Amino acid sequence: MARRRGPVGPELLVEIDRQGDRPLHEQLERALREDIRSGRLRAGTRLPSTRGLAGELGVSRGVVSEAYGQLAAEGYLAIRQGAPVRVAATVRAPVLHGPGPSLVQTYGYHFHPGLPDLAGFPREAWLRSVRTALRTAPLNAIGYGDPRGALVLRETLAGYLARVRGTASDAEQMVVCAGFAAGFSLLCRVLHGQGVDRIAQEDPGWHTHRLIAEQAGLEIVPIPVDRDGIRIDALRDSDVPAVVVTPAHQFPTGAVLARDRRTALLEWAEQGDRLIIEDDYDSELRYAGAAVGALQGLAPERVVHLGSTSKRLAPGIRLGWMLLPSWLTWPVISAKAAEDGGSEIVGQLALADFTARGELERHLRRMRQRYRARREVLLRALARSVPRVGVSDSGAGLYELVELPSELDESALLAAAAKRDLGLEGLSLHRFAASGPPALVLGFANLSEPAIEHGVQLLAQAFGDVA
């Protein structure tokens, strides 16, 4: 059997069996007909000339001409004098599988607690940084680089985090990753490989923490949270070697870890040679009250500090960072190098320029004002349309925890809202216990003020449906 790659399309093989019973032109037309029917050769696709294809297959030009002629007569090919041979425009390949549904649920109005204001993303400033990065980066910047990430970004972030978050930043102990989830997943796998089999998590706490840690093979130990943050007495009783916390703005309750508990948490880690994983997801978005410094700055050898651009800029940028204790730095770097060799470089260079020029801080100042205003609109709308709910006094972040009447069925309310094209997230998603007081985690950052008011009206209607 002669089998050669023909220039009839990308990655397309045409098979000719010189020892077969069928004439060569019939074999060729049959192969092309099947390729057209299957969709491998789509309508309008240009085919090689008779001379070109004959040369590729090692057959006479007449074999190809006869095959083309028959397929043109059947309507599969369009042949015109002086024009290339193409698959006929009228040919439509059968649709074997229609487009599947998106994995992302969409609603007309969605109180998504994890989305910043996407319309507020500073496109022009970011584009300027991307252009600057590509124009000024040395040639080797787009080669195989340091698995920790671009040095210019690590140095820029180290300075920014030390100044704004109070971290003990060292560019040598920083690893750039593709967002918080990627960094936390890598860290959990490294810890599991070092013999850690259990990790504590706040309860309620971000459900993705649990999913990532479990996928890495770790057992999750829930630790209750109250108005002062994670309960250190319960953490001591758990006898775990590591804990993941959100101390600056606990998700989803909004609590700030109290000063005495910060001290106790650090003592717990120091005395037991344990590790604290600090998820610093939205700390610069505090628009009421004093700023809360990072735990890592108080005990850099006991705390891994994780942050990202997801809440600060936009999730789709997929950039994050880890500040690591010295004893954990090399294992994480080695795992990162083996896993992907390092994160995407153009975005890193752009973020370095964007941060160095002060654009990140200017953006965050604008967003704090905007989020404060949107939260006030949400609270007023709730008080007017759904007065039976309770709200927290948190003045930070992208969402509000809304406590529902105790007799209300949270899951029924979510279903009623979905029927009205309203997306809501229940507190039960982030709780370990099978039951508990019903509540909603209402994100307001990615909704305009009129959309917030209309969304609350829909929420009130959903209340009426389940009352």
Q: For the domain with range 362-466, which CATH number is right: 3.40.50.970, 3.40.50.720, 3.90.1150.10, 3.40.50.150?
A: 3.90.1150.10
What percentage of the chain has pLDDT greater than the value 70?
96
Evaluate if residue 291 carries a pLDDT over 90: no
| pLDDT tens digits along 208-223 | 999 999 999 999 999 9
Q: Do residues 335 and 148 lie in contact, with contact meaning Cβ atoms separated by under 8 Å?
A: no
Selection from 16, 86, 88, 17 nearest residue 56 by Cα? 16
**Largest interatomic CA distance in the chain:** 90
Strand 229-230 versus strand 219-226 pairing type? antiparallel
Rounded (5°) CA angle 276-169-298: 45
Distances (CA, A) of 138 to 116, 151, 174, 423: 33, 13, 22, 46
The confidence score (pLDDT) of residue 13 equals: 64
Q: Give the DSSP H/E element, type plus range, for residue 245.
A: strand 242-245
Does the pTM surpass 0.85? The reply is: no
Q: Do residues 50 and 79 lie in contact, with contact meaning Cβ atoms separated by under 8 Å?
A: no
Evaluate if residue 8 carries a pLDDT over 60: no
Q: Please state whether 254 falls in left (phi above 0), alpha (psi between -120 and 50) or beta.
A: left
pLDDT band with cut points at 50, 70 and 90 for residue 253: very high
The CATH code for residues 121-357 is 3.40.640.10
CATH architecture of the domain with residue range 2-87: Orthogonal Bundle (1.10)
Buried b (16+ CB within 10 A) or exposed e, 343-360: bebebbbbbbbbbbeebb
Domain ranges of the chain: 2-87, 121-357, 362-466
The first and second tokens of residue 307, run together, are 């942050």
pLDDT band with cut points at 50, 70 and 90 for residue 6: very low
Q: Do residues 229 and 258 lie in contact, with contact meaning Cβ atoms separated by under 8 Å?
A: yes
> Over the chain, what is the mean pLDDT?
91
Sort 85 into a burial class: Cβ within 10 Å, 0-12 / 13-18 / 19+: buried
Distances (CA, A) of 344 to 115, 133, 158, 173, 247: 22, 13, 19, 19, 29
408: Cα separation from own chain's centroid: 33
Q: Give the DSSP H/E element, type plus range, for residue 80.
A: none
Strand 320-323 versus strand 303-308 pairing type? antiparallel
Evaluate if residue 424 carries a pLDDT over 70: yes
Evaluate if residue 99 carries a pLDDT over 80: no
Kindly report whether the peptide bond that precedes residue 331 is cis, defined as omega within 30 degrees of 0: no
pLDDT band with cut points at 50, 70 and 90 for residue 95: low
